[in-house]
Amino acid sequence: MARRARSKAVARRGMMLVLSSPSGAGKTTLSRMLLTEEHNIALSISVTTRARRPGEVHGRHYHFVDRKKFDQMAKAGELLEYAEVFGNFYGTPKQPVEKALKHGRDVLFDVDWQGTKQLRKHARADLVSVFILPPSSGELARRLHTRAQDDKKVIRARMAKAADEMSHWAEYDYVVVNRDLDRAFNDVRAILHAERLKRERQPGFDAFVRGLQKNI
């Protein structure tokens, strides 16, 4: 009986955890580590108009759509946020996110500052935002060249864009400098754990405390 009451008391609403960074600063790697090590959190699967890269699976990495379909979704209000990045469009489907939050499941977002701004506008109470910074511009360039996913022209464009992206760091709730991957991961994980414990995310404690008072 006590176990059933305890379970009901700690029921909570999920949160939207956003990780943003310039390309190459580590947000995608940190996101993957978080999804591997943490339970009760799922990655928001974005829709995008960009071409599928080798090894990417439709519905697991992204929902790949053409520009016409993307525009239809945006016009119908089916996206929580959307933005153009390097000539391609990305967006977050609304329905699966709202369903997850309602059932106490956290949703992880790998989006840029434009997407974060839109999410903040529409769902501030559910949003926790973290900006990941590289330790130096030299290290950022090295990481972009090492991963070898883009050609030199795209890498130059990403480096040029990085300064503008980093200018938005103060708009985020938390900032983590990715000098060491394990340490950065522990910092992000600590943020997640602390935010899960916030009173406003745990409406079940309302009934729990009333029960305690009643039995005193």
pLDDT tens profile 60-88? 889 999 999 999 999 999 999 998 888 99
The Cα 28–Cα 15 span in angstroms is 19
* The pair of three-digit structure tokens given for residue 187, joined into one six-digit string: 């910092």
The C-alpha angle 79, 80, 81, rounded to 5 degrees, equals 90
Q: Is pLDDT above 90 for 160?
A: no
Residue 146 confidence (pLDDT): 67
Asked if the model's pLDDT at residue 10 lies above 70, the reply is no
- E-strand ranges in the chain read 16-20, 41-43, 47-48, 63-64, 79-85, 88-93, 106-110, 127-133, 174-177
CATH assignment of 12-198, among 3.40.1360.10, 3.40.50.300, 3.40.50.12280, 2.40.10.10: 3.40.50.300
Q: Which residue has the tokens 């499941």?
A: 105
Question: Which amino acid type is present at position 34?
Answer: L
Supply the pLDDT for residue 11.
Answer: 79
CB-facing half-sphere around the CA of 146: CA atoms within 13 A: 10
pLDDT band at 116 (very low <50, low <70, confident <90, very high): very high
The pLDDT of 2-20, averaged and rounded, is 72
More confident residue, 1 or 215: 215
**pLDDT score at 151:** 65
Residues 19-53: tens digit of each pLDDT: 999 877 888 899 999 999 999 999 999 999 999 99
Domains in the chain: boundaries:
12-198
Cβ neighbors of 196 (< 8 A, separation 6 or more) are 12, 15, 106
Quick one: pLDDT at residue 110? 86
Task: Determine the pLDDT at residue 206.
Answer: 84
What is the rounded CA–CA span in Å between residue 24 and residue 146?
10
The amino acid at residue 173 is: D
Cα gap 172→128, rounded to integer Å: 8
Give the number of residues written for the chain: 216
Amino acid (one-letter) located at 97: V
Least confident of 27-31, 144-148, 187-191, 193-197: 144-148
Q: What is the pLDDT of residue 144?
A: 64
Report the share of the chain in percent with pLDDT over 90. Answer: 61
Average predicted confidence (pLDDT) for the chain:
87
